[in-house]
């Protein structure tokens, strides 16, 4: 199990990019922190989620 935004998710084995797409996020509009480390945008496709990972996905909306 992977903890994503405080919820337990069956996402172990997926890349972060695959998880984001499945969950309906636009990858260009999020900041992802995994185990207290920011994952650069270009690494989303090469970073695997593993059992026990703790992930925060922050979604940004337009306007400023």
- How far is the CA of 64 from the CAs of 52, 60, 61, in angstroms? 36, 11, 10
Residue 30 bridge partners (DSSP): 59
> According to CB under 8 A, which one of 6, 7, 24, 61 is a site residue for another protein?
61
Total number of residues binding another protein (CB under 8 A)? Answer: 19
The pattern of x and - marking residues 25 through 44 that bind another protein according to CB under 8 A reads -x-xxxxxx--x-x-xx---
Q: Which stretch binds another protein (CB under 8 A): 6-14, 15-23, 53-61?
A: 53-61
Residues interacting with another protein, by CB under 8 A?
26, 28-33, 36, 38, 40-41, 56, 58-64
């Amino acid at each position: 199990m992977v903890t994503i935004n405080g919820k337990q998710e069956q996402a172990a084995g997926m890349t972060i990019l695959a998880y984001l797409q499945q969950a309906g996020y636009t990858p260009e509009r999020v900041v992802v922190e995994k185990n207290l480390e920011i994952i650069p945008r270009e690494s989303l496709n090469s970073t695997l989620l593993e059992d026990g990972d703790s992930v925060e996905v922050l979604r940004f909306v337009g306007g400023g």
